[in-house]
Amino acid sequence: MFKYKLMCALTITSLAACAPMDETRIPEAPLQECQYQGDRTAFCVWAPTAQAATLRIYDSALDESPVKAVEMKLGKDGLWKATVKEDLKGKFYTFQVRHQDKWLEETPGIGAKAVGVNGTKGAVIDWSQTNPQGWENDESPAVKPSDIIVYEMHHRDFSIHETSGVTNKGKFLALTEKGTKNNEGLATGVDHLKELGVTYVQLLPSYDYYTVDETRLDEPQYTWGDDPNNYNAPEGSYSTDPYNPEVRIREFKQMVQALHAEGFRVIMDVVYNHTFSAPLSGFERTMPGYFYRMDKDGNFCDASGCSNETASERPMFRKFMVESLEWWMKEYHIDGFRFDLMAIHDIETMNIISRRLHEIKPDVLLYGEGWAASAPALEPEVIALKANTYRLDRIGAFSDNIRDAVRGPLDCSNAGFMDGIEGKKADLMFGLVGGIEHPQVSVPYWANSPLQHISYVSCHDDHCLRDRLNEATKASEKEKLQMVKLAQSAMYVSQGIPFIFNGEEVFRHKYGTKNSFKSPDSINAIDWTLKTQYKDLFDYYAALAAIRHAHPGFCLGDAGLIREKFHFIETGQETVVAFRIEGLEGIDSARSLTVLLNGSKERVSLEIPNGHYNVLAQNGFADASGFAAYSGDYISAAPTSATIIAEEE
C-alpha cells in the first residue's frame, strides 16, 4: 500500500479560508454557465458568498477591454444570473465577483465548455455547428470484456516525429489519418494500432490545460496536461486553430469519430484532483476556499504534489465532477476515464460518478491511480485508495503489485522477475488472478472483480520500459528484448485488463529521462524507424493481443470463475510461475490454457496432464493460430521466456 506522510503540505495561502455555507444553495439543475439561444444568451456563475458579480462581453479572446459589462443578480441557488438579449455568437465572456470587499480577477467560470485562445475567456458558440458530418450516427464499437486492451497515448509523442508519416502532427486530427507509414513503409498512426490489436485508446489529458501558450505554438512547448485550466473544453494546442473555439471542439469530435469507425473505444485521462494553480483557477476566483481542501490556517493542502488538492467531498465540487464527466460522454462520445491520483477523491463521490456514468453507457470503463503524492486531508478509510478498490462500484485501479513484481521497484535497484530476481513471485501470482481473493495467493486482495485490476509494467509516469532496463540491469540488448517479451506475456495472460504505454511495442526510449512531463519532443517523440528496427518485438505484442482475443479464458471476468478454473502449478522455483485454466467448455475454443513464465536463466520443464496441445507462444515467438502441435505431459520454457499452450477439444 502507498505510504502517506502524516500531514498536509503547507504551501500557498488562500485568498480566504472556506467560509461557512448553507449547502442547500447548490443548484439542482446541471450547471450551464453560458446558454446561447440565438437572439439571447443566458449566463450564470456560482458564487453564493459573493457580494456582487459582473458579466463582461468581449469581441476577441485577446481583448483587454470589454464591449459590455452587465450586473448580475443572485438567486436562491447561489447562482448569479444575467441574460443579454442580442445575438452574441462569436463573442467572448468572463465573470468577475466581489468577495470580502475585493474584486477578484476575471474568469471564464468553473465549467466553460467553449473557450478562446489560452482559455482565459469563455466563448459564445452555436453548438449545433460543431458536429462533424455523420456525428449523429457515431457509435462506440462493441468490445467484449475479454477483448479490452488499453493503449496509453500522448498526442505529440505518437505523431510529432518526422518519421511518423502523419500530416497533422501532434494534433487531434492525426488520429483521423489512414494509410500513414514510416520511412520504410511500415504502418504508423491508426493503422499501427489496428495491427497491434489494442481496442481502447487512452488519451493523456486533452482538456484545456495551462502551461502551453497557444499563441506561440511555433516555439517548443510540451506538457503531459496535468495542469488543468478549463476541464470541459478541449485543449487548443492540439487543434489546427486555437483561436477559433469551434475548431478544437469539431476536431476533437472528428478524432473520436474516426477512432470509433476503426474499432477503437476512447478513454480520457482526467485530472480533477488538482488545478495548475489555485489562485489562478475559476474555482478560487468565484468561491474562494470552497473547492480546495485547506488546513485550519487557510493554507492549501497538497496531496497532489502540485500545490493544492481539490475537495471532492463537497457537494458543489462533487456535482462539478459528475456533470463534467457526463458532458464528455454525451457531447464527445467518450467511452471511459482514467482518474489521475484517484486516492485524493473520496469513495462516495467516485461511486456516484460510476452509477451516473453507467446510466449513460452501461459498459463505460473507469479506473485510476489508487494513490496520491502525499496524504490527502481525509481519513484513509474514506478515500479511493488502491486498498479500498473492493469498495468501489465498477471502478478499477492500476496494479503496482504486478508492475513492481515483473519489472522491479521504483528505485531501479533491480529489474524484477523478468531478470530472474527472487521475491517477486507472490505479487506476480496476485496480478495474474486479477487482484482478487484466491486460495493459492498470499497477497491480500483489493479487487472484487478482475476487471478492476489494471495490469501494466510501464506508463507515461516514471521510466519507459527500455530506459528502466538500462537503469536496472547490465544485460545485453538481446536479453533485454527477451525480458520485455516475458513481461508483456504476463500482462496479456493476466485475468486483469492489459495496459501498454505508447511506443513500448517498438522499444521506445526517452534517453533515460524519468519524468519527461516538460521535456522536448526530442525526448518524448516516438521515432517510427524503431518499428523497422524492432519489428520482431512489435509482432510479438500483436500476437499476444491476438492470442488474448482468441482465448477469452484469459479473461474470465468473474472472481468465482477464476477461483474455480484457474490453478497455479507448483514449480519449486521463485523465478518460475505456471498456471492452468481448465474446464473452459462453453467459454473458450480450447478445453484448457496452460502458461509457463520463466524468469530464470535456465530452461524449465514442468509436468502437466497428458493431452493434445497447440503451441501459441514459445522461445520469443507467438502466433494466435498456433505454430506447433504437441502431444505429451509436460510444458517447457527457455530462459527468460513464456510458453503458452492451448489444449484442443
Which cell is 271 given?
485530472
User: Cα(160)–Cα(527) distance, rounded to whole angstroms?
Assistant: 9
Compute the half-sphere exposure of residue 599: CA atoms within 13 Å on the CB side of its CA.
Answer: 28
User: Cα(467)–Cα(478) distance, rounded to whole angstroms?
Assistant: 15
User: One-letter amino acid identity for 566?
Assistant: F
Active-site annotation holder among 269, 309, 369, 588: 369
User: Cα(156)–Cα(526) distance, rounded to whole angstroms?
Assistant: 9
Beta bridge mates, 598: 576, 641
Cβ(24)–Cβ(394) under 8 Å? no
DSSP 352-419: HHHHHHHHH-TT-EEEE-S--SS--SS-GGGB--GGGGGGSSS-EEE-HHHHHHHH--TT-S--GGGG
Which cell is 273 given?
484532483
Strand, helix or coil at 175? helix
User: Cα(230)–Cα(61) distance, rounded to whole angstroms?
Assistant: 15
User: Cα(291)–Cα(164) distance, rounded to whole angstroms?
Assistant: 42
The H-or-E segment that residue 547 falls in is helix 535-550
Active-site annotation holder among 177, 284, 340, 400: 340
Buried b or exposed e, range 280-311, using 16+ CB within 10 angstroms:
ebbbbbbbbbbbbbbeeeebbbbbbebbbbbb
User: One-letter amino acid identity for 114?
Assistant: A
Instruction: State the angle between helix axes of 400-407 and 477-492 in degrees (0 to 180), rounded to the nearest 10.
Output: 150
Cβ(174)–Cβ(259) under 8 Å? no
Instruction: Spell out the alpha helix ranges (H) of 220-366.
Output: 245-261, 315-332, 347-360
Region of 8 (left: φ > 0; alpha: ψ -120 to 50; beta: rest) is beta
Count of Cβ atoms closer than 10 Å to residue 250 Cβ: 20
Concerning whether 369 is annotated as a catalytic residue, the answer is yes
Count of Cβ atoms closer than 10 Å to residue 482 Cβ: 21
Nearest alpha carbon to residue 526 among 538, 543, 536, 540: 538
Cβ(512)–Cβ(468) under 8 Å? no
User: Cα(228)–Cα(415) distance, rounded to whole angstroms?
Assistant: 34
Pairing type for strands 592-598 and 641-647 reads antiparallel
Strand, helix or coil at 255? helix
Concerning whether 302 is annotated as a catalytic residue, the answer is no
Cβ(397)–Cβ(446) under 8 Å? yes
The CA R_g of the chain, rounded to the nearest whole Å, is: 26
User: Cα(18)–Cα(488) distance, rounded to whole angstroms?
Assistant: 48
How many angstroms separate the first and last alpha carbons of the chain? Answer: 43
Instruction: State the angle between helix axes of 245-261 and 315-332 in degrees (0 to 180), rounded to the nearest 10.
Output: 60
Which residues have a catalytic role annotated? Answer: 340, 369
